[in-house]
């Protein structure tokens, strides 16, 4: 009986030690991102194509109430413009200083916010008149790439695998997430669009858009847009530009120096 009791006591002590070790030294480090186990993959169907200014080096794209807003890049050619969706005609435009390289834009409430690439400054405009209301500095050490918002925070990419959440009044960083898929960090996140609770992001120099959970940074979907570039002009550059018409549930994509803008429907891959 004493031997049996001894075995039981040893067993219980071992269990306590194992539990304590696993509690104190977990397999995952405290800040390690939880990577998704499954992602959903999509291809696309073209619903409509529209003319697009092939001299526009598209860096930001937004649509509201059938009005298309576009930010373009390259020094000496950077603009903010209002574009007629059906014709591609530029209805209103302002140019940035020749030493600035325009980047992502978003419409936040009744204002348009525009980033620049390496200057660490951004601009706030009146949405209707394009009057300049404010110039701000952002504190992110890297570059300005894409911009969107979730209704309360601006969301910014800088070409890395990190997304930054900014206070829309002070433009200070209030949160950030690292973006991961099953293979690891997803780098070169570019133009952004917030759609129904998820962040859609172009991956620079790739024909894909990743769908990101903004709370965890997990990639929950991937859209393969291979073949779209073959349908535009020969001097076109990379895929870049996502706009979502929330009122009519329409998704638009284009690229830098593309002659067309496409309305697409996502088609799940089996």
Domain ranges for the chain, please list them.
40-268
Q: How much is the pTM?
A: 0.85
Distance in angstroms (rounded) separating the CA atoms of residues 237 and 212: 24
In CATH terms, the fold of domain 40-268 is: Neuraminidase (2.120.10)
Q: In what order do the strands lie in the sheet with 154-157?
A: 147-149, 154-157, 162-166, 173-178
What's the chain's length in residues?
Answer: 270
Distance in angstroms (rounded) separating the CA atoms of residues 2 and 249: 74
- Quote helix, strand, coil % in the chain, to nearest 5: 10, 50, 40
Split at pLDDT 50, 70, 90, the class of 66 is: confident
- Across 4-18, 141-155, 224-238, least confident range: 4-18
pLDDT per residue as tens digits for the range 8-59: 333 333 443 333 333 333 333 333 333 444 559 999 999 999 999 999 999 9
């Amino acid at each position: 009986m004493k031997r049996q009791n001894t075995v039981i006591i040893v067993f219980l002590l071992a269990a306590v030690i194992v539990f304590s070790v696993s509690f104190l030294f977990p397999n995952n480090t405290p800040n390690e991102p939880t990577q998704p186990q499954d992602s959903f993959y999509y291809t696309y169907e073209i619903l409509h194509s529209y003319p697009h200014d092939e001299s526009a080096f598209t860096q930001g794209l937004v649509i509201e109430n059938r009005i298309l807003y576009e930010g373009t890049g390259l020094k000496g050619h950077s603009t903010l413009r209002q574009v007629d969706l059906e014709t591609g005609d530029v209805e209103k435009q302002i140019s940035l200083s020749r030493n600035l390289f325009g980047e992502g834009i978003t419409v936040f409430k009744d204002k348009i916010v525009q980033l620049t690439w390496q200057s660490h400054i951004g601009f706030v405009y009146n949405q209707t008149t394009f009057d300049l209301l404010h110039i701000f500095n952002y504190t992110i050490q890297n570059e300005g790439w894409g911009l969107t918002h979730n209704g309360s925070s601006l969301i910014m990419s800088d070409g890395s695998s990190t997304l930054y959440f900014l206070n829309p009044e002070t433009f200070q960083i209030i949160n950030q997430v690292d973006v991961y898929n099953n293979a690891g960090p997803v780098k070169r996140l570019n133009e952004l669009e917030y759609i129904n609770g998820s962040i859609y992001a172009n991956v620079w120099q790739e024909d894909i858009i990743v769908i990101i959970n903004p709370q965890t940074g997990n990639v929950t979907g991937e859209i393969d847009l291979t073949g779209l570039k073959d349908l535009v002009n020969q001097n076109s550059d990379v895929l870049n530009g996502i706009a979502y018409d929330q009122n009519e549930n329409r998704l638009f994509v284009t690229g830098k120096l593309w002659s067309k803008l496409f309305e697409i429907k996502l088609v799940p891959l089996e």
